[in-house]
Amino acid sequence: MASDDPQVLQWLPAQGRPEQLMLVLHGVGDSAAGMAPLAAALRRAFPQAAVLVPDGFDPFDGDPSGALGGWQWFSRQGLDEGNRAQRVRQVLPKLAAWVRGAQQATGVGPAATALIGFSQGAICALELAQAEDGLAGRVLAFAGRYATLPERALQHTTLHFFHGADDRVIAADHARAAMQRVAELQGDATIDIVQGLGHELPGVLVDCAIDRLRTHIPHRTWAAALGAVPGLAERHASQRDDERDAED
């Protein structure tokens, strides 16, 4: 890793080489330490994973006194819908380089990399995946949103959206809109919205994320498996059509 990289908390397998790489991006004004409970839960669920949690690239500028400390991926000063996408784009090259450095350092490739973000970290994770399809095999976005809804489906990355229904910082409607757009584009995504939760990262959402990582089979994997057996993909498609007709 380069000398100007952020401070990083890391958890590595007790023995053997990492089989997965999980990169966790915190929210605005927070730090890597604030994501330690999530990192610990991921380590318990995936003991052969390397979990890396960096501080944001810039000091948090939302507190003039500096008493709060913390870090950010991009500034919220003067932020609005007109400049949000540009703010996020500015950080993506450095973030992409950091992700590649982490992959090289751990020996884990993109397909086994999960990019996990909360709030502002989720925004960056989603936009980075959109800018560089396949840089990570999965993106887990907690209480996040797109800066700009995508115009093309990702071919090598699965998206997982997690949100509190009562989030008043980033409304759950952003996750719903993202899921609808990805579905329209025939991309691969899941969504979990939990009632009674706000802009937070509680255990129930972490449990949802772990379940998605364990059980969700990406569409591209299904397609590859179906394509490996002559005629199976056609029979599978015909079966889906029959089921759709039965529902209608």
> Predicted confidence band at 64 (pLDDT cuts at 50, 70, 90)?
low
Query: Tens digit of pLDDT for each residue in 94-150?
Result: 999 999 999 999 999 999 999 999 999 999 999 999 999 999 999 999 999 999 999
Catalytic residue flag (residue 167)? yes
Phi/psi of residue 50, nearest 5 degrees: -95, 125
> Predicted confidence band at 67 (pLDDT cuts at 50, 70, 90)?
low
Catalytic residue flag (residue 80)? no
List, in sequence order, every residue forming a beta bridge with 24; answer none if it has no partner: 116
Kindly give, in sequence order, each residue whose CB lies less than 8 Å from that of residue 164, ignoring residues fewer than 6 positions away: 143, 172, 193, 194, 196, 197, 198, 199, 200, 205
What is the percent of the chain with per-residue pLDDT over 90, rounded to a whole number?
A: 80
pLDDT at 248 over 60: no
| DSSP type of residue 133 | T
The arithmetic mean of pLDDT across residues 239-247, rounded, is 36
Catalytic residue among 119, 163, 174, 188: 119
Catalytic residue among 30, 55, 167, 188: 167
Catalytic residue flag (residue 119)? yes
Catalytic residue among 166, 192, 199, 216: 199
What is the C-alpha separation between 105 and 120, in angstroms, rounded?
A: 25
**Residue 220, pLDDT score:** 73
What is the C-alpha separation between 214 and 203, in angstroms, rounded?
A: 16
Q: Lowest-pLDDT range, 23-32, 63-72, 196-205?
A: 63-72
The arithmetic mean of pLDDT across residues 234-245, rounded, is 39
Q: What angle do CA 23, 210, 21 make, to 5 degrees?
A: 25
pLDDT at 3 over 90: no
- 42-48 long-range contacts, Cβ below 8 Å, gap at least 24? 42/116, 42/210, 43/11, 45/210, 45/213, 45/214, 46/20, 46/22, 46/213, 47/13, 47/14, 48/13, 48/16, 48/18, 48/19, 48/20
Q: Report how far apart the first and last C-alpha atoms of the chain are (Å, whole number).
A: 55
Residue labelled with tokens 């080489």:
17
Residue labelled with tokens 């784009």:
89
Q: What is the pTM of this model?
A: 0.87
The arithmetic mean of pLDDT across residues 164-190, rounded, is 97
Query: Tens digit of pLDDT for each residue in 182-199?
Result: 999 999 999 999 999 999
Pair type for strands 158-164 and 138-142: parallel
pLDDT at 223 over 70: no
The arithmetic mean of pLDDT across residues 87-98, rounded, is 97
pLDDT at 65 over 90: no
Which residue segments constitute the domains of the chain, with CATH numbers given? 8-216 (3.40.50.1820), 221-248 (no CATH)
**Residue 232, pLDDT score:** 42
